[in-house]
Amino acid sequence: MLRAHGLTLYEPGDLCGEMVSPAVPDLRQIAAWAVEFLNAPNQQLGRRGPVCPYTRLSMANGCFLMAWAGGEHDVQSIESTVDQYRRWFMELLEQPGRAREHLLTILVVLPGFDRTDSSPLDALQRRLKDAFVHQGLMLGQFHPHCEQSGLWNEDFRPLKAPIPLLAIRRMVASDLPFLLGSASHLSAYLDRFAPGIPSHVRRHLVARIIKTTDQETVAA
């Protein structure tokens, strides 16, 4: 268990004892979901391997951390809390031996959100995403009724979780499809993964990709 900045982060192993906290039931449920769903293969996934290729290694290396924001009762407070975890995430990345960069994950569990309607959580994720992407991070929303489809099978819903949450992790090269809808997000991706490309070429590439994406959206 980690404590800093008035916040707490839990590892799955912290939840095995007789800890008394209102956070424990929700965090145990999410830890079980991570093992049973994210770490497991799924026939609907559309590719081989587990639903998430990183979660098992993240857990094995002590990089899978969970936070509980059940005490927050309004979206503005939750937004502030999630932003604090973003800042703490960046601090953890700078600590030697704390985490392999691509394995560090913080799941901010948000039991106060409506579990029958994902739109408030989706809206919060969209508002916060810029700040995360510009620091080379990704912020993903998970919800019992999240309808975002998978990359390999449009009928698969990989972001369904038993309790609403936001997941913070480092951006990886395979995140490109999640960033094509925004020129600034795509630029941040290229700055991280294509630093050898001259800046004027990156700008041209961004413009071409965004134009193509817009045309495909209109055609659909």
23: pLDDT strictly greater than 60: yes
**Residue 219 pLDDT grade (very low, low, confident, very high; cuts 50, 70, 90):** low
pLDDT of residue 70: 87
Q: Which long-range contacts link 19-24 to residues 24+ away (Cβ below 8 Å)?
A: 22/68, 22/70, 22/71, 23/68, 23/70, 23/109
> Mean pLDDT, the chain, as a whole number?
88
List, for residues 125-161, the tens digit of each pLDDT value. 999 999 999 999 999 999 999 998 888 888 999 999 9
| pTM of the model as a whole | 0.86
Composition of the chain by helix, strand, coil, percent to 5 = 45, 15, 40
Higher-confidence residue: 181 or 202? 181
**Residue 169 pLDDT grade (very low, low, confident, very high; cuts 50, 70, 90):** very high
Pair 157, 173: CB distance under 8 Å: no
Average pLDDT, integer, range 213-220 = 57
99: pLDDT strictly greater than 60: no
Counting residues of the chain whose pLDDT is more than 70, the rounded percentage is 88
Average pLDDT, integer, range 181-203 = 78
